[in-house]
Amino acid sequence: MGYSGRYHAASLAAVFIALAVGILIGIGLADDVVSSASEELESSLRSDLKSAEDHADDLQTQLDRSNRFSSQIVPEVLNGQLAGRRVARVELGDGPVINALEPDLFARISGNLHGVDGIVLARIPGDIPPGDRDASATFEQGVIDGVAGSGADSAGVELAATDPTTLGPFIDAGMTTIDHLDLPAGQVGLVYALDGYAGNYGIKEEARSYLPDFGHGPTAP
């Protein structure tokens, strides 16, 4: 092989060697880049997580303060608000929705419905045999229509966690509704609803406002 042939062979070998070296260097650099990017991403995620945890802690602290404030102020706000009023509690279905609130809302409980001037109505959906559903629905609607047309201040109620809502028939009948009875605001709303503040109050889609508009006095349904 002449000089020219050896030169071209050596040049070609050099190219392949350079290519091989470049590939090896590239792989090393890629590993460094990936490693660096991974470390930066991990650091960023840790920072975001810490910020989110701090924000959650701040929100929990605010919520705890709000709950403590509500537990202290609500009894004072409601004290004597329904003094002398007789309120009937009616539950359609199976479930103690209102019983859990007796200590907060009612001083004493009686089964006597004579002279009732306020009615709290709750619907508790249950498993009704198919053959009884029509009769049950007819009975339930009759009770709701009777309460709505009784002339007594009344409210259909449910808990904030109730999903799906049970208040549709009450709203259709023109009754006042409270969809967050287990929250302090719901208890305040119920007391004012029984004092003539008509509306649909709460936190769910069907609610028109969170609480009654105390500044405008009782309203007609």
Q: What is the pLDDT of residue 132?
A: 74
Average pLDDT over residues 135-148: 85
Average pLDDT over residues 118-130: 81
Q: What is the pLDDT of residue 3?
A: 45
Alpha-helix residue ranges (DSSP H) falling in the chain = 3-78, 102-105, 133-148, 168-172, 184-193
Give 88's pLDDT tier (boundaries 50, 70, 90): confident
Under a CB-based contact definition with an 8 Å cutoff, are residues 88 and 158 in contact? no
Q: What is the DSSP letter of 157?
A: E
Q: What is the pLDDT of residue 112?
A: 54
Under a CB-based contact definition with an 8 Å cutoff, are residues 221 and 174 in contact? yes
Residue 210 to residues 113, 123, 164, 177, 179: CA-CA distances in angstroms?
Answer: 30, 21, 19, 11, 9
Residue 157 has pLDDT above 70, yes or no: yes
Residue 4 has pLDDT above 50, yes or no: no
Residue 22 has pLDDT above 80, yes or no: no
Under a CB-based contact definition with an 8 Å cutoff, are residues 119 and 150 in contact? yes
* pTM (two decimals): 0.64
Residue 74 has pLDDT above 90, yes or no: no
Return d(Cα 100, Cα 92) in angstroms, integer.
Answer: 16
Give 34's pLDDT tier (boundaries 50, 70, 90): low
Average pLDDT over residues 55-74: 84
More confident call, 142 vs 41: 142
> What is the rounded average pLDDT for all residues in the chain?
77
